[in-house]
Amino acid sequence: MSDIQRIALTAGEPAGIGPDLCVQLAQSSQRNQIIVVADPELLQQRADLLKLPIKLIEFDPTSAAQPSAEGSLVYIPCKLADKVVAGQLNPANSAYVLKTLQIALDGCLNGTFDAVVTAPVHKGVINDAHVAFSGHTEFFADGAGVNKVVMMLATPELRVALATTHLPLRDVSDAISQDSLLKIMHILGESLQQRFALKQPRIAVCGLNPHAGEGGHLGTEEKTIIEPAIKFMQRKGYDFTGPWPADTIFVKSRLADYDAVLAMYHDQGLPVLKHQGFGDAVNITLGLPFIRTSVDHGTALDLAGSGKASATSLQAAINMAETMSQNKTPHE
């Protein structure tokens, strides 16, 4: 394998800030080769709107990988179905968005790409086009034939993984079983070892209920599900501890003892992480047979084409994908 990595970058919802971020990213050189999957006419239109110079180069898989140069953007063409107006959703382009993801997925599975980084998509407009779509995570997991993946967000100072993701709060408790929690804990522990070069990662597990159940007085999930799962993983040699009350485990002095926190639901862990490092955070899907990272924000339709969107999180996602690819273990 070349020392230069090839990283696919899907441009996301064409009416959102994804194309802006790709063009902005190209204004700086990169350590590896970034290959944008998008309609080149869209990229040029957005560059013109932002008044940024861009040289578009079609990807040649037979040529040697080269670091992306300042001012240039290597792309794989994917034709839009209809015209794009920045900030205005168009369901007609939903199939285009999914095709960009499929191209990136296929390239990761066949070894063309070392990783994929995704700009934000708009789930609602894809569903408005009568296409069942619940998100990048599920799309890649289904396409790779993986039954279980784990969503983790990371900043330079904090990693937070989730036991459940986009569920109504009333459904969270029913979704946390000992079997599902053990699968999540195994993926998390193994991924931190293999992708983050942590020989013995220290992982704090949050309780589900206030005060981690208060000894069973505020809920029994800690005693019946979470504690047994932690003890099982400890017997397997993993350093999981808890369940800890979520209102105190995120105290800075406590976090110094851990490499990651496993939160039970979306808004238990992610508000803390985003408060701590929004804009520098990266969304990572663990458990796939390839590396996938993403930005920590949405399509920001109101900023599309304005020049006000920041590519900081996208650059962080690329940096994270590069680091994870370098750390992957030989047997993978």
In this predicted structure, what is the pLDDT of residue 330?
Answer: 40
E-assigned strands of the chain?
A: 6-10, 33-38, 55-58, 72-77, 115-118, 150-154, 159-162, 202-206, 239-244, 260-263, 282-286, 291-294
| CA pair distance 234, 229, nearest whole angstrom | 9
Gyration radius (Cα) of the chain, Å: 20
N- to C-terminal Cα separation, the chain = 13
Q: Does the pTM exceed 0.85? A: yes
In this predicted structure, what is the pLDDT of residue 96?
Answer: 96
| All domains of the chain in start order, with CATH | 1-146+288-332 (3.40.718.10), 149-287 (3.40.718.10)
In this predicted structure, what is the pLDDT of residue 328?
Answer: 63
Max CA-CA distance within the chain?
Answer: 64
Sites in the chain below the pLDDT cut of 70: 1-2, 328-332
| CA pair distance 200, 183, nearest whole angstrom | 18
| CA pair distance 21, 314, nearest whole angstrom | 7
> Kind of pairing, strands 6-10 and 150-154?
unpaired
In this predicted structure, what is the pLDDT of residue 300?
Answer: 95
